[in-house]
Structure 1
């Protein structure tokens, strides 16, 4: 018998050619044989039903799948790959690669993985809980060596099967603390305080945060950091006065530029209701594109009448008129550290600590905040 380390204090024990997952508390995960005994059918029939292969009636298939879910059985493809040999494949689950953060992250993960001799399987969730579950299921059935993911759901239960299967998991961008896995991200709290402090230091007294209305930890941290910055400067934070929230995108399959359209509509409505702050900080450079248009149409000058501070340092920001002050996000560094950590887990060289790292971004001050 020999023991292989995995995440969350779990271990995979291979004994006599059989492989079973055992948690650090000693509670064995249900196996295919356990499920066969409960249902009273052969393991071969169980396997055919779970993999939707012919030879099993619809009624029996439904019964087997229901019982598998009740028992918490997960087909341990990862365990089989440990017996048969690594597939040398890393999975990445993100929402949409039209999002510059995720496209840069995937590129850096692929580069790091290639250097280590691994290929990358990309799975997209499109910010949909259902699509995320499908992506997780596919990852489980693909025999991946490890997984890097930016979760959609705030609940960790969707990821429990990955932990049960013994697949090393590293999260990026959005944290699920109760899951107990490594996490790497931009420091959203520190980042928004940098951008807000910058406009306040340049004389702003009335600042609005233009950001998306979504229940993500990243957005929640930005809102909290924005409030902290205002209060440190002796200003009152009132969500009704200091927040302009963009409704969730109607479709996450479209180009990220859709966010500029939505930001334009929210900013135009705010300005037309007579709200005229002397600075905007935004949660995405695309939002600044829409905001610029709304301000221009109303003859509101940047930065003379209102300062605008972006988020992301996307390539087009240098060519906006005036060039947009923004935040340089450490896309590559987040991806590099997350991939290195995942490879350490896969190769058995990671320590037992749960790593949480938030990397502080840097400002790029340009003409949109220079008076």
Structure 2
């Protein structure tokens, strides 16, 4: 797989020109665009998603933190969230807390750096400091033992849809 820098080296054009040509920008000569795009195509160039996310300040990744996936309740919820995310053009990054509230806090600290667009947390922990999350929208779904699986799924998916609207 070829990188943008390698295409730049082969063609003799700057990485900026190569990037603009690959993004079909109007300010690049048609012949230059064609040359660069042909080389990219022949060499199976794939844009770096991290670089795109950095440039656009959007990763199209949503974190889901839940206690465990081997429980039907949670796996069904995750399935519906993932389906909803996929339809909206998002990928899901999963974190399992194993009902450990300190793990939930650690995961939330780790993803609150702008690398994730949003997060949804399914937790019985009502002590999470929700006000410390300023980088990304976050939805907390409080889990109670009285909820049916269907109620949890519906609440989670509705929260997730609202979250996607805020991104």
Calculate the TM-score normalised by the size of structure 2: 0.59
* 2:155 is equivalent to residue 334 of structure 1: yes
Deviation track 1:343-371 (CA, whole Å, cap 9, x = no partner) reads 1111xxxxxxxxxxxxxxxxxxxxxxxxx
Question: Shift of the alpha carbon at 1:330?
Answer: 3.4
Stretches of 4+ aligned residues off by more than 4 angstroms? none
Contact 1:104–1:331 (8 Å) recurs in 2: no
Structure 1: 5+ residue runs without aligned partners?
1-80, 175-217, 223-282, 284-310, 313-328, 347-371
Note the aligned Cα RMSD (angstroms).
Answer: 2.4
Per the alignment, residue 93 of structure 1 pairs with 65
Q: Matched residues in 2 for 1:149 and 1:109: separation?
A: 12
* 2:127 is equivalent to residue 155 of structure 1: yes
Question: Shift of the alpha carbon at 1:97?
Answer: 1.0
What SS class does the counterpart of residue 104 from structure 1 fall into? helix
Contact 1:105–1:334 (8 Å) recurs in 2: no
Deviation track 1:104-162 (CA, whole Å, cap 9, x = no partner) reads 111111111111111001111111122112211222246111111113422132x3332
Deviation track 1:236-274 (CA, whole Å, cap 9, x = no partner) reads xxxxxxxxxxxxxxxxxxxxxxxxxxxxxxxxxxxxxxx
Structure whose residues are more often strand by fraction:
1
Larger Cα-atom Rg = 1
Deviation track 1:166-220 (CA, whole Å, cap 9, x = no partner) reads x11112243xxxxxxxxxxxxxxxxxxxxxxxxxxxxxxxxxxxxxxxxxxx14x
Structure 2: 5+ residue runs without aligned partners?
1-52
Per the alignment, residue 106 of structure 1 pairs with 78
What SS class does the counterpart of residue 161 from structure 2 fall into? helix
Q: Matched residues in 1 for 2:142 and 2:69: separation?
A: 14
Contact 1:124–1:135 (8 Å) recurs in 2: no
> Which stretch shows the higher mean deviation, 135-144 or 107-116?
135-144
Relative CO higher for 1 or 2, CA cutoff 8 Å, sep ≥ 6?
Answer: 2
Per the alignment, residue 126 of structure 1 pairs with 98
What SS class does the counterpart of residue 147 from structure 1 fall into? strand
Question: Shift of the alpha carbon at 1:82?
Answer: 7.9
| Change beyond 3 A, Cα 1:86–1:117 | same
2:108 to 125, 136, 139: 136
Q: Matched residues in 2 for 1:330 and 1:152: separation?
A: 15
